[in-house]
Amino acid sequence: MKRYKAYCFDLDGTVYRGDEGIASAIAFIQKLQQEGIEPFYITNNATKTPEQVQQKLAALGIAAPLQHIYTSALVTATYVEQHFRQMKVQVIGSDGIRVALAEKGIHITNDEDASAVVMGLDREINYAKLASACLAIQNGAKLIGTNGDMKFPTEQGFVPANGSFVHLVATVTETEPLFIGKPSPIMLEAIAQAHHYSKNEMVMIGDNYQTDILCGIRFGCDTIHVNTGVTSTAQVQVQQEQPTCCLSSMAEWA
């Protein structure tokens, strides 16, 4: 099996399911660390701060350095910092995105003269917030979603994820949103840039074809699909663009 310098792991469905760790992935990560390779963790979940992700991984037996945890919230904040001179944004979202923006010195406003509207999952979303976002965009603000996931599974069935609300605002304002999270390659680009890796030194590992695998393919690095989450191996095999490798779990990676 090829050796990489940067193993980039998706989290939900790849390293854990809910609060339960996926043993094969955890063992693989610990083995890499024993060999002196520190993996990266990439999540579309914008509700948690990197510190909260670090705590969750620690509870599963993984010691992860903060600089190796990339949330869509963190990368969105970096994007806003780099692309908007006047850093005044409206936010619909929770802790993860609010803290990330504040740490970059970005001013969060309710005014409709914001230069961007940043949307991450907000479990307290309401009509007033959505209306205000729509008005800001009609005044020239750019619409940015931390991630475009439309739904996520719960024990009872699917519930709305961030993308559903971003598409609502996009429909009203007739604009095209920019999504930072996977399958956009922006998060892998951020890792390559910050840590000086070339694409052939990196691999993206994940359970979701539409986000993780397409993210790696669009970025241009190798990809490993694991059959431990959203997309089954059978569903991957009918796709036109195939991952580099399909595994039932990381235990198969000899």
Q: Which residue is nearest to Mg ion (CB)?
A: 13
93: alpha, beta or left? (left if phi > 0; alpha if psi -120 to 50): left
**Can you tell me which of 8, 9, 13, 96 binds Mg ion, judged by CB under 5 A?**
13
Q: How far is the CB of 15 from Mg ion (least distance, A)?
A: 9
Q: Helix or strand or coil: residue 22?
A: coil
Tell me how many residues contact Mg ion (CB under 5 A). Answer: 6
- Closest by CA to 230, choosing from 144, 146, 161, is 161
Residue 207 interacting with Mg ion (CB under 5 A): yes
Q: How far is the CB of 72 from Mg ion (least distance, A)?
A: 12
Residue 95 identity (one-letter amino acid) = D
Residue 243 interacting with Mg ion (CB under 5 A): no
Are 72 and 32 in contact by the 8 Å Cβ rule? The answer is no
**Can you tell me which of 72, 78, 162, 208 binds Mg ion, judged by CB under 5 A?**
208
Spatial CB neighbours of 165, under 8 Å, sequence gap ≥ 6: 92, 119, 122, 125, 130
x/- mask, Mg ion, residues 167-206, rule CB under 5 A, reads ----------------------------------------
Q: How far is the CB of 205 from Mg ion (least distance, A)?
A: 10
Q: How far is the CB of 175 from Mg ion (least distance, A)?
A: 28
Q: State which of positions 211-230 bind Mg ion (CB under 5 A).
A: 229
Q: Helix or strand or coil: residue 226?
A: strand
Which residue lies nearer to Mg ion by CB, 116 or 205? 205
Residue 12 interacting with Mg ion (CB under 5 A): yes
Q: How far is the CB of 41 from Mg ion (least distance, A)?
A: 11
Q: How far is the CB of 207 from Mg ion (least distance, A)?
A: 5
Spatial CB neighbours of 171, under 8 Å, sequence gap ≥ 6: none
Please give the C-alpha separations between residue 80 and each of 32, 86, 108, 217, 244, in angstroms, as whole numbers.
33, 10, 12, 25, 32
The rounded Cα 48 to chain-centroid distance in angstroms is: 11
Binding site for Mg ion (CB under 5 A): 10, 12-13, 207-208, 229
